[in-house]
Each structure stands twice: as structure tokens, then as C-alpha cells.
Amino acid sequence: MKIIFATHNKHKIEEVRHLVDKRFMLLSLQHVDLAEDIPEDYQTLEENALFKAKFIFQKTGIPTFADDTGLEIAALNNRPGVFSARYAGKNKNDQANMDKVLKELKNADNRLARFRTVIAFVWNDGKEKLFEGIVNGKIGLVKKGKQGFGYDPIFIPDGYNITFAEMPLDVKNSISHRSRAFRKFTSFLNKEFLNDKA
């Protein structure tokens, strides 16, 4: 069975390829010759992910999933949230995004935060399902570490006293929001389409 991951991000495709059962043929947007950008103009992670998956399913008729992630900071009313990539401006600059968060949290006692990933899966006509993965933690006082990407240098997950950017990538991947959402999604796929009883 063919299945499309509606992303242009090659790293994400490779990360997910390890998680999806080999009996599924995992396709990227390049495989199906769709180079155009998919709009992400909505106000929630759920709407963005669902729109992307539906957009590609409608064009191809092939079951499609899409993901969207945000960093939700309690003291900032869950901002940057769905606006995480462009928080400090259109050019998606990780350093500027982190600087903006650190400035907004200056002197804040409450530094609680979480990463949240939503995966939307659309198949057949009108069938759709959402999967969520969350990792709770807090925002550090300064940037630390060189691994990973995005907000990793300022995010300290619960149970650790180092940031995501200070951890080996496999440790981050084993507890991350994205891997939690993807484990729920792949176990659904296996049950629904491979009659996996596990």
C-alpha cells in the first residue's frame, strides 16, 4: 500500500522511514511530482496538518499524512505555538526566535513549556484521523548545546537537566513530541491496514 508524507523536509522523511512498516511504500512529495508549497495559514496545528494532508490526498487519491509542530509556553498563553517557525519574522531564523522567547520570559518565574506535534492522516473519501504527541518541559535561562534544530537549545524536557540540544539525537528522538505522535500513528496504521493485533 502506498502512503504519502506531505512534507518537503528530507530529514523528516528519513526519520519516519525507520518507523513505518516496510509493507507500506512511503512516498515523499517529490515522488509524486508535487513541488509546490502547501499553505499553512491556519490558527491551530490541527487545522494546518489536516489541510496539508487533505490537499495532497485530493490531488493524488493516495492515503496521505502531514504533521505540524509548535512550542507552547504557558506564561505566553501558549505562544509561539502554531507560529513557531516564523515567531521573530518571515525568514524563519532559529536564533532570533529563541532570543525573542528569552526576552519575553525575562524575569518570568513560570517557564513551563511543551512541544506538541499533530499528525493528520486522510484516506479513502472523507476518512481522517488526528494523532498527538507531547513532551513537557521548561525554557532554560540561556541557550545551551549544539545538537538538533529550532528551539532545542532552550528546551529542557521533564526528567532531565540538560536541553534537547545537549542530548545525543537518539535520546531526543526517543522522548520527543514527534516520535510520540508518530508511534501512535504507525501503530494505528499497522492495526488498520496490516491487521496487526499488537
Tell me the residue nearest to ligand IMP as measured from the CB. Answer: 150
Among 131, 146, 121, smallest CA distance to 178 is for 131
Let me know: does 104 contact 88? Beta carbons within 8 Å: no
Closest CB to ligand IMP among residues 28, 176: 176
For the chain, give the longest Cα–Cα distance. 53
Closest CB to ligand IMP among residues 91, 124: 91
Residue 148 phi, psi (nearest 5): 70, -150
Let me know: does 50 contact 130? Beta carbons within 8 Å: yes
Q: Least separation, in Å, of the C-beta of 40 and ligand IMP?
A: 8
Q: Least separation, in Å, of the C-beta of 57 and ligand IMP?
A: 19
Q: Mind spelling out the 3-state secondary structure of 43-91?
A: CCHHHHHHHHHHHHHHHHCCCEEEEEEEEEEHHHCCCEECCHHHCCCCC
Closest CB to ligand IMP among residues 27, 113: 113
Applying CB under 6 A, which residues contact ligand IMP?
68-71, 84-85, 115, 148-152, 164, 176
Q: Least separation, in Å, of the C-beta of 117 and ligand IMP?
A: 7
Let me know: does 63 contact 128? Beta carbons within 8 Å: no
Closest CB to ligand IMP among residues 176, 186: 176
Q: Least separation, in Å, of the C-beta of 29 and ligand IMP?
A: 14
Name the catalytic one among 21, 41, 67, 68: 68
* Rounded CA separation 32/60 (Å): 8
Active site residue 125: no
Catalytic residues: 68
